Amino acid sequence: MGYGVGEWIIDGAHGEGGGQLVRLAAALAALTQRVTRIVNIRARRAKPGLAAQHLAALRAVAALCGGTLTGAELGAREVHFRPGPIRAGRYRFEVGTAGSVTLVLQALLPVALQAEGPCRVTLTGGTDVARAPPMDYLRVVLLPWLAQMGAEVHIVALHRGYYPRGGGELTLDIVPCRTLRPLLVESAGALRRITGHAHVAHLPRHIAERMAAAASNALVDLAPVETTVAVLDDAAATGMGGALTLVAETNHARLGAAVVAQRGVPAERLGAEAAQALRQDLASGAALDVHAADQLLIYAALAAGDSLFSVRALSSHAETAMWLIAQCLPVRFAVEAQAGRQLVRVHHVR
């Protein structure tokens, strides 16, 4: 099958085989206008098939491009997607319950950047939930990387939402950027500062303070952590929850680590876990943290030239993403092991 021709059939059980594969496949289908069938969706999961947030991501991408979805329902293990032209405009998508809005954004944002005009996207659901990037990680880590590549995306957290109720709401204003700059950052360089963003909602302030203090104590030998702590009320959040996001700014890069407050898990343990993840990334000299590398692969593949970046280790999500992207876009990935890190090259095939 040639690039952009015929029906693209994706095995949803390949590699990591989770929701990320479904989201990325939908985005790639919309970007290339390629009729796509995804089969064996989340086949090896305890609850196979589409969950609410996967379904929301598919519907969001389909709405952005006026596409048609067949078989897209909760629990579905096969979906057929026929995309149409990507359209600017105002959109609102409800994930439902506490499904992660940041995961839905992983699917729709690369598509919206290729629209002919600005998009305003409002999403409701969970803003800070387990097994997904918290909202602050998106705001202070991922979007600044995209800005470096030329993308202009403004985010406003209108309301926070947590497991199990959800009820959060984010709005993004997305300026089209059809020609992204390559991502060229081989090493992080010297550490300049570390900042922390901790918050809780309908919980005692000391929980956020303890998360932040534990992280600060674990990183004090590297740099003093400049931390902000917020306590959110009914006007700013639905339900009980919280999160901590750490950002290390270096001469050439920014690396993030984040944790979400969990019932029964001490705040000190959460803060220490975030600090340990950040410390490992900094010690490797890598330019991107593991989670940023996962999410930036699609943008590097869409950029106007070859990209080069380093990461401490490639996750199974990243490996699956590279496999999928290389099938759909004219790019090839090469990974070279260096001392304590991986160097990733994204080469455009011409």
Residues 231 and 319 in one domain: no
Residues 163 and 300 in one domain: yes
Residues 263 and 247 in one domain: yes
Residues 218 and 90 in one domain: no
Q: Name the residue range of residue 275's domain.
A: 188-284
Residues 170 and 207 in one domain: no
Residues 337 and 232 in one domain: no
Residues 144 and 88 in one domain: yes
Active site residues: 317
Query: Does the model's pTM come out above 0.85?
Result: yes
Q: Which residues pair with 156 in a beta bridge?
A: 171
The two tokens of residue 76 are 């579905």
Other C-beta atoms closer than 10 Å to the C-beta of 193 total 12
Indicate whether 3 belongs to any domain: no
Indicate whether 1 belongs to any domain: no
pLDDT one digit per residue (tens) for the chain, 350 residues: 233 446 899 999 998 888 999 999 999 999 999 999 999 999 989 899 999 899 999 999 999 999 999 999 999 999 999 999 999 999 999 998 889 999 999 999 999 999 999 999 999 999 999 999 999 999 999 999 999 999 999 999 999 999 999 999 999 999 999 999 999 999 999 999 999 999 999 999 999 999 999 999 999 999 999 999 999 999 999 999 999 999 999 999 999 999 999 999 999 999 999 999 999 999 999 999 999 999 999 999 999 999 999 999 999 999 999 999 999 999 999 999 998 899 999 999 97
Strand ranges across the sheet with 254-260? 225-232, 191-201, 241-250, 254-260
Indicate whether 334 belongs to any domain: yes
Residues 92 and 177 in one domain: yes
Q: Which residues pair with 311 in a beta bridge?
A: 288, 342
Q: How many angstroms from the chain centroid is the CA of residue 266? A: 26
| pLDDT (0 to 100) of residue 97 | 80
CATH number at residue 220: 3.30.360.20
